[in-house]
Amino acid sequence: MPPRTAALIAGLRRIVAIETLPPAPPPAPPRCERRSLLGLLLLPEPLPLAPPRPRRRTRWLAWLFLPEQLGREGPDPEVR
């Protein structure tokens, strides 16, 4: 058999073998993705189920540098 004929027959056998393969199995169901603690801490965005947190408006510079007013009552009126 000439080499070209042998190559042609081998190519036809390969095509027939590929077409007669059984269908691929269905993909596996997605697994629950378990994240490590470090991965959770380093997430660039909040967790998907975390509720949005309201921002607290704190005047940090005033809180740090201005003295507390002594005449104002705190949470406990006995402590002044």
What is residue 34's predicted lDDT score, i.e. its pLDDT? 74
Q: What share of the chain is helix, strand, coil (3-state, %, to 5)?
A: 35, 0, 65
Q: What is the pLDDT of residues 68-77, one digit of tens each?
A: 665 655 566 6
Token representation of residue 43: 């997430």
Confidence of residue 78 (pLDDT cuts 50, 70, 90): low
Q: What is the pLDDT of residues 30-60, one digit of tens each?
A: 776 777 777 777 767 666 676 777 777 767 6
What is the dihedral angle through the alpha carbons of 5, 7, 9, 10, rounded to the nearest 10 degrees?
Answer: 160
Determine the average pLDDT of the residues in 12-34.
77
Which among 55, 54, 50, 51 is positioned nearest to 40, based on CA atoms? 50
